[in-house]
Structure 1
Amino acid sequence: MNILLLGATGDVGRATLDQAVQRGHVITAVARRPDALVAGAPNQIKQVALDVLEMQEDLADLARNHDVIISALRPIEGQEPLLVPMTRAALGAASAADIPILVTGGAALLKLADGSGHTVLSAPDFLPDSVRPIAEACAAQDALLDTRPDVAWTCLRPPAMLHDGPRKGRYTWGQDTLVIDSEGQSEISFADFGSALIDLAEKSSRPNRRLTVAWGMAA
């Protein structure tokens, strides 16, 4: 499979790249800064330095001859609102190339597993103030997806905690509610989240839908 990976040098992007390589896929790894690209990459990785906001026509051209786009794009701290135009550029490339796209979303609009009806974003005192800007950007990103019926998109949203850690090789899928484990924790490592993205990329049918994944049991 030929995969176009956007945001290849971020935490999710690197984990996804690693899994794609291990499974024998051919990857075009895109990052904004050429010095951030992977050193000593294997032959199955083609590295491209490209700013998705400034070079949208180039991105659309690049997307052609790929089977799927995986967008692991994330703006730097302080520029969280850029997530929406970055995602819009990725969706535009998928539309131009007529290929499906997997979008890394956020947990903002997932419901809490306590039955309160609150989401991660709306629940009082659930989110630290430091992560509220990216949570709000992810909510706006989520709304953007519904404006693109022309694109075959699937959005994979992480659990409450996405962090460094081992690849356990097991996880539980969910839809609109946080997946929790037996101790009520909702978490997954970058390694397993990247693995889940490649699982989705390998599926022959990817309808427009939102999914989530975490260690543990579904609520």
Structure 2
Amino acid sequence: MSRIVVIGGTGYAGSHIAREAVSRGHEVTVISRQAPDAPLDGAQYVQGSVLDLDALGDVFDGADAVVSALSPRGDMENEVIGALRGLIKRLAGTPSRLGVVGGAGGSLVAPGGPRLFDQGFPEEYKHEAQVGIDSLELLQQTDDLEWFFIHPAEVFGPWVEGERTGRYRDGGDVLVRDADGNSTISGADFAIAVVDEIEQPKHRNDRFAVGY
């Protein structure tokens, strides 16, 4: 059993990750700025902001993995990179492993590039994609902390919830598409990939993309 802290654990990706981790018997702590509408049985909730790490006290102490599922939306639109920078500083030199949920935009469309972001990416999603790209670059400059970064499929979110199939494919740094060219994954199966990586690390200080 691992102790896992999920930041943004009441959002779409974060709540799925917390649920999957609890279902496998892990000790899960969820950090969120607002109390959950439907608390997950088996998870501990800490209300607070990652922008004020001191106020969170010792919540990260002894964590085997800390997963950031922050979304650059609303009042966090321009705060995610600063929050991640503070989190890296807080965890540096500890045994905790940091996992960061990114977006599909930074994944490559073929081995060696280019990125999906550079292929006529929709303007309305560019800011969010850029935050994911900048987050990965920040991690790649980090020396004193083990991390992993995960790209979801191109179509991923509460508007396309999908079902838990128990399967996914790992594309390395390349966007995962099916035989028809579609890139999708459900929230539940994305969470399986995250918790699998925590339990059996395959991408130490590296990124990977998942989809069907």
Q: TM-score normalized by structure 2?
A: 0.89
1:57, CA displacement in angstroms? 2.5
The answer (yes or no) to whether the contact 1:60–1:92 under 8 Å persists in 2 is: no
Deviations 1:132-190 (A, max 9, x none): 11011111111111221111001111121113111111110012211110101111111
The answer (yes or no) to whether the contact 1:80–1:137 under 8 Å persists in 2 is: no
Name the structure 2 match of 1:27.
Answer: 28
Name the structure 2 match of 1:118.
Answer: 114
Which residue identity is paired with 1:82? E
Q: 1:64 aligns with which of 40, 48, 61?
A: 61
Gaps of 5+ in 1: none
- Residue pairs, 1:178-189, within 5 angstroms: 178-189=175-186
SS of residue matched to 1:121: helix
Name the structure 2 match of 1:130.
Answer: 124
Deviations 1:76-131 (A, max 9, x none): 24743322112223323322643111111222221214x794311111x2x22211
SS of residue matched to 1:62: coil
Which residue identity is paired with 1:61? D
Q: State the alpha-carbon separation in 2 of the partners of residues 96 and 75 from structure 1.
A: 27
Deviates more, 1:203-212 or 1:184-193: 203-212
Q: Does 1:104 pair with 2:101?
A: yes
Deviates more, 1:197-206 or 1:64-73: 197-206
Gaps of 5+ in 2: none
SS of residue matched to 2:165: coil
Distance change (3 Å), C-alpha of 1:95 and 1:205: farther
What's the % identity of the aligned pairs? 29
Distance change (3 Å), C-alpha of 1:118 and 1:205: closer
Name the structure 1 match of 2:151.
Answer: 157
Equivalences, count: 208
Name the structure 2 match of 1:50.
Answer: 48
Q: 1:194 aligns with which of 181, 191, 196?
A: 191
Q: State the alpha-carbon separation in 2 of the partners of residues 13 and 190 from structure 1.
A: 9
Q: TM-score normalized by structure 1?
A: 0.87
C-alpha RMSD of the superposition: 2.1
